[in-house]
Amino acid sequence: MAGYMKKIITLCTVLLLCINTASATQQERSINKADYDKVLALFVDANGPGATAIISQHGKVLYKGALGMANIELKVPLNTESVFRLGSITKQFTAAAIMMLAEQGKLSVDDDIHKYVPDFPTEGQVVTIANLLSHTSGIANYTEDKVVMEKLTPTQTTLDDMLSEFAKHPMPLKTGEAMRYSNTGYVLLGKIIEVASKKSYADFIEQDIFAKLAMNHSYFGGTQLIANRAYGYSRTEQGVVNADPINMMWPHAAGSLLSTVDDLNIWYQALRDGGLISKASYKKMISPFTLNDNSTSDYGYGLGTFEVSKYDAIGHGGGINGFSTQAFYLPEEDLYVAVLINSDSESSPRDIALLLTARALNIDVPEFTEVALTDKKINAMMGIYQVTPDSQRTLSFENGEVYSQRDDGRKWVIRPMSDNSFYYEGSLSYFTIDKNEQGIQVMNFYSNLATEPSPALKSDSESD
């Protein structure tokens, strides 16, 4: 991990040098492949699981690269044509398929799902296709069931048998009450696509989307032989191992697709430009969904909305046995970035994508350099910070290490980088702690290269 952070520091120094070079034009930056390659090198061991990445802007590829191994045992390196499992990036294809069928008059997103899956229980509530698309159905998420994930997903199954298994899970929320991620909901969408189109989900995606867009290296996952397929890995305390097996019927319309960075670039340009669905349908996909209380979520149909630095972004990540992925689009800059990694133990696809974006758009990146602070100075900043009315972040100092914990989540190691700021080890997230006019400590949290922080007041702070 120490070596990793040294790499982060090196990269940030390089980026800042580039940023401060006023004579560097966008065209000059776009052809400097070596600078982009350095981003991959920060996160990838050339002899271990690797990554492929692409950046495009205004229809032109600014960068395409690969580093690491497609097969470690056989010493086969990755290349930019390597085929990866996409995980939940699949969901935007499923959502687009639904919009295609809606445009063909074969369904409506306002339809009750019982029109297509009459036997799936919804506990007396009306769940629409739009609720499934936006993760507002209230239907449980089967990937939270350890028995299903550990015992069943390696086994052969059918779509109907899966849905019978998922029907055993009670609904944790009322429909439309909140956005709560549900892979079960997207498997149900796969069934709806099959009923409405009279094709299997695999055939619809491959024939009506991949073939139409000439995405010639994209597939519904299975046991078929696929040229340039990357093998998937996991990291354990013992080192890198082959990822656990999974029968790809289980992720189905929630995460079963495979593709390359080139094909993903083709895909998003077609989606954005109306090459597959109308621009009105695309707008529905990228518009936040309105909940029962008239608030909006940060998720549309198969795509989330968030911020990257000062820019609005649209995108999705994915994680599945052996693979982790990230892809997003910045409309204001017409910039698309996709990163595919053949290891499921990585949090780095998003960070790689963010640093590639910073390189392409000349965005400032902090230098994450650890500094020494006295115990007294550290202890003065520890405590509970109120992030939202229902959520807290706790800072603690234990056995010489500083930790940050959101609610009951994982404790993350954080490192001081000034008298009043900390960074998350192995991440681009950081925060500062200052006092407001009332003398209360405020945590200003920065993530995704943000220029404006998210503030949190220390709930146990005393004015002094």
Residues 321-334: tens digit of each pLDDT: 999 999 999 999 99
Alpha helices in 58-113 (DSSP H): 90-103
Tell the burial category of 252 from Cβ atoms under 10 Å away from its Cβ (0-12, 13-18, 19+): buried
Of 357, 334, 359, 358, whose CA–CA distance to 58 is shortest?
Answer: 334
In SS3 terms, 111-145 reads as: CEHHHCCCCCCCCCCCCEHHHHHCCCCCCCCHHHC
pLDDT value, residue 257: 98
- In angstroms, rounded to a whole number, what is the distance separating the alpha carbons of residues 418 and 378? 11
Which single residue is written with the structure tokens 């930019």? Answer: 80
> Could you tell me which CATH class the domain 84-342 is placed in?
alpha beta
> By C-alpha distance, which of 54, 82, 73 is closest to 227?
82
Mean pLDDT by 10 residues, the chain (464 residues): 39 39 40 86 93 96 97 97 98 98 98 98 97 98 96 96 97 96 98 98 98 98 95 92 96 98 98 96 96 96 94 96 97 98 87 94 87 95 95 95 93 94 87 94 91 89 44
**Would you list the DSSP string of 178-213?**
-----HHHHHHHHHHHHHHHSS-HHHHIIIIIITTT
Q: What residues contact residue 256 under an 8 Å CB cut-off, 6+ apart?
A: 90, 202, 220, 221, 248, 249
pLDDT for 460: 67
Q: How far apart are CA 219 and CA 191, in angstroms?
A: 18
Contact (Cβ atoms closer than 8 angstroms) between residue 340 and residue 218: no
Whole-prediction pTM: 0.87
pLDDT at 101 (0 to 100): 98
Q: Can you say how many angstroms the Cα of residue 431 is from the centroid of all Cα atoms in its chain?
A: 22
CATH 2.40.10 correct for 375-458: no
pLDDT of residue 428: 86
Q: What is the per-residue pLDDT for 186?
A: 98
- Three-state DSSP at 71 gives strand
Give percent of the chain with pLDDT exceeding 90: 84
Which residue in 141, 113, 294, 296 sits closest to 286, CA to CA? 296
Specify the pLDDT at position 364: 83
* Pairwise CA distance, residues 293 & 317, whole Å: 28
The residue extents of the domains of the chain are 2-77, 84-342, 375-458
Residue 145 tokens read as 């069931």
> Which residues are CB-contacts of 31 (< 8 A; sequence separation ≥ 6)?
none
Structure tokens that stand for 457 in this block: 């007041």
The answer to whether the beta carbons of residues 87 and 113 sit under 8 Å apart is no
Q: Are 352 and 339 in contact (CB under 8 A)?
A: yes
Type of residue at 18: C
Say what the pLDDT of residue 377 is.
Answer: 95
CA distances from 246 to 171, 291, 322 (A): 25, 34, 10
Taking residue 383's Cβ as centre, other Cβ atoms within 10 Å add up to 19
What pLDDT does 32 receive? 80
